[in-house]
Amino acid sequence: MSERHSTWVDNPRGPMHTGSGDIYFTVGTHLQDTDTSAFRRVADDQLTWLRRVLVDPIGMGEARRTLSDTGTVILAGTPGSGRTSAARILLREHHQDTGVFHELLPDEEDELPLRDPDLVGAGDRLLLDLSATHADRWTAARADLSTLRKAVHDQHAHLVVVMPHGSALDSDLQQYRVEIRRPPALQVFQRHLRVHGVPHEQYLAVDQTVDIPDDEWPMREIAAFADLVRRAREAAPAGHGFRQWYATARKARDDRRQEIATVVTGLREGPQRALLITVAMLHGAHADVVHQAAQLLLSTLRHPPDEIPLLQRKDLAERLREISAGTGPDGHVRFTELDYDAAIRAHFWDHMPELRQYLGTWAAGSVDLNDPHVTREVRDGLVARLAAQYLRTGRGEGLASLAEDWSATTTSRARLEAAVHALTCGLNDPAHGRSFRQRIYQWCANKHLKGEFAQVLVRVCADVIASSHPDQAMLRLYHLARRERGTTRALQEVCELVATSSRLRRRLLDRLARSALSPAELRIFLPACDPVALLAPYDNSSALVEENGVQTSVTTCWRAVLDELPHAEWRPYAERWLHTATDAGHRGDLLLGLLVDAADQCKGKRGTTFATLYASARAAERTAPGGAVRAAATTERLLQKISAAQGLALHDTPPPTASPRGTTP
């Protein structure tokens, strides 16, 4: 794996690293006991939902047959026809016990080119979405598609390509092309309503005077509007029916900028506007939380305190009525009109830009409020709404810096979770995902990380990036693991990630073998190069240990381990190799051979290394799962290989029944 290194600095807040060499950092403990599912992007849930609401577009059946028969399908169609949703569903339907989902990004600097066979692992599900790409990128991809398709076929994988609308396709790939055409808009709309739980007798009985979405609406807009109808139904008074819900949703969809500007103009007092902003940012939160957060916003903005005696002030109910909001029976605060909160957020962000710098500080304080009603849902909602404003206005770098600030100083677990959620919003945004991945790479590989920020990056890489870009996640976790001190969280995550794919483990071993092989990198190699995984068959019968490239990588790294690390540090890993080799037949001999080849390359201390390796094998007999006698046979096989490497003739003798201490070859 080749990569280009570059360094950039944006809004620096501490020591920077712009040259060669390592930077070390310590990761704290705030997130170490966190349930990882709390941060993990719910990719599977999203796909399950997509499958439930998807009305198969015209051509979906042919696409299924083509993918099943050939392992490849190239989807064509107009924008808004549901091509990308169809692509993800097709790959979900081919989920296997082996392989991972991998969205290919051939133009990003730390991704392998499409023609590289190491891009495809056994049973992988690959998505190449080029629906919005420019002509030059599509031309470059087309040149490599045949090579990529062959690798997919050889690895029993599945590939779905979404090609740009109206682009050309080479004649040899035409057999994989399937035209996707949108299903009827009304059918899509009704499917979404049904899945949302809207009674079918409501929307099926509506007459033609209701302006139902038509075939000019893109699929994503139909889905968003159906969700508006759902929310209108949930907020409507008893007795209202579909016609009223639909009208409310239609109004919420309209452009309300002028209306909101007029409302804000009529609210001149600072506390009024603070409450308006707070309700918009914490819409649906409990009244106690809204009250505290509004006071916190005034404090953050250094607004003069209210001098009116407490009992003479307006109560919260009156203040909420002034801004067209109220408290429901559950004690939670909402505006009276649907999506009014979104319009308020956009207004203040767009028309009071000097407020933006304070909102990040206020949001961090709000997630830390000591109130039982400040739940995970409330915190995540606040962060998501703030992130949406940054991303909507093209200020992704500001959101990234905010997440760094939230976790770079002594901080709470809630604030660290908020930082993770903010970066997740950036990574999942179609327009900003690439820049966030690149920025995270620079953080992981090059930048001095302050406070608890490193553990935030570990969670983001392991739980967000890895779900669709496992290669990029592996590389970032590798950089974090080689730099961490005081914890092994990044190391644990990179080992868990490569355990999901033989291809990923191969790439990590290759990356390590071509690195400087510092002690930190060797401490990644030892647990990552698990002998059981090397022996495990993939693609029906192959094993990594039988591959020449893997053997070279493993030998190179083991040589450095034997040459540079203390015996006490590597002995437990060597013992695991020896125990694994006992019951592995000829592949077990390959494991032993790799250890011996590595020791043979320890120039200047070759004999000593052989002796230490042999002594380790004798010691391993005492803890062998299969018993000392069988382990002694493995030791004898190791001794024969050592003798052969030294050019010595060793007569065949029965393996000893007991292990003499201190014996050396």
DSSP string, 186-212: HHHHHHHHHHTT--HHHHHS--TTS--
Does a structural domain hold residue 288?
yes
Bridge partners of 400?
Answer: none
Secondary structure, 3-state, 301-349: CCCCCCCCCHHHCCCHHHHHHHCCEEECCCCEEEECCCCHHHHHHHHHH
Distant-in-sequence, close-in-space partners of 167: CB < 8 Å, separation ≥ 6? 135, 138
For residue 81, being part of any structural domain is answered with yes
Find the angle CA(251)-CA(254)-CA(256) to the nearest 5 degrees.
100
Does residue 175 share a domain with residue 196?
no
Q: Is 443 exposed, middle or buried (0-12, 13-18, 19+ CB in 10 A)?
A: buried
For residue 263, how many C-alpha atoms fall within 13 Å in the half-sphere facing its CB? 20
Residues 248 and 266 in one domain: no
Indicate if 526 and 580 belong to the same structural domain: yes
In terms of domains, do 523 and 581 share one? Answer: yes
pLDDT reported for residue 322: 95
Give the C-alpha separation, 90 to 158, whole Å: 9
Average pLDDT of adjacent 10-residue blocks, the chain of 665 residues? 31 32 40 46 68 92 96 94 92 83 85 90 93 89 93 94 94 95 90 90 68 81 92 89 90 88 92 97 97 97 86 91 94 94 96 96 96 96 98 97 90 93 95 95 94 95 93 96 93 96 95 96 97 86 91 98 96 96 89 96 93 95 90 94 84 39 33
Domain membership flag for residue 405 = no
In the listed set 350, 371, 393, which residue is the last one of a domain according to the structure? 393
Same domain, 467 and 339: no
Residues 136 and 195 both lie in one domain: no
Supply the range of the domain harboring residue 559. 454-645
* Residue 200 CB neighbours (<10 A): 10
The reply to whether 624 and 606 lie within a common domain is: yes
Are residues 216 and 261 both part of a single domain?
no
What is the Cα–Cα distance from 115 to 145, expressed in whole angstroms?
A: 8
Same domain, 232 and 161: no
Closest CA to 270 of 290, 291, 297, 247: 297
Single-letter residue type at 321: R
Instruction: Please tell me the total count of domains within the chain.
Output: 4
Q: Give domain status of residue 315, yes or no.
A: yes
Beta pairing partners, 548: none
Report the CATH number that the domain containing residue 99 is assigned in CATH.
Answer: 3.40.50
State the number of CA atoms in the 13 A half-sphere of 571 facing the CB.
Answer: 15
d(Cα 63, Cα 84) in Å, to the nearest integer? 13
Q: Is 51 a member of any domain?
A: no
Has residue 628 been placed in a domain?
yes
Nearest to 659 by CA among 577, 575, 587: 575
H or E element, residue 596: helix 585-600
Say how far apart CA 497 and CA 337 lie, in whole Å. Answer: 46
Instruction: Provide the residue type at 297 as one letter.
Output: L
* Residues comprising the chain, all counted: 665
Classify residue 509: in a domain, yes or no: yes
Cβ(456)–Cβ(490) below 8 Å: no
Cβ atoms < 10 Å from Cβ of 501: 22
Between helices 585-600 and 548-564, what is the axis angle to 10°? Answer: 50
> Domain check: are 577 and 479 in the same one?
yes
Cα(230)–Cα(212) distance, integer angstroms: 15
What is the three-class DSSP state of 58? strand
Asked whether residue 640 is domain-assigned, the answer is yes
Residue 193 sits in the same domain as residue 98: no
Alpha-carbon span 412 to 391, nearest angstrom: 25
* The predicted structure's pLDDT at residue 16: 32
* The pLDDT value given to residue 351: 96
For residues 452-472, one letter each, b for 16 or more C-beta atoms within 10 angstroms of the residue's C-beta and e for the rest, the string is bbbbbbbbbbbbbbbbbbbbb
User: Taking Cα atoms as reference points, which of 231, 236, 246 lies closest to residue 197?
Assistant: 231
Radius of gyration of the chain (CA): 30
Do 628 and 485 sit in the same domain of this protein? Answer: yes
Alpha-carbon gap, residue 445 to 15, rounded angstroms: 14
pLDDT score of 649: 60
- CA–CA gap between residue 506 and residue 494 (Å, rounded): 13
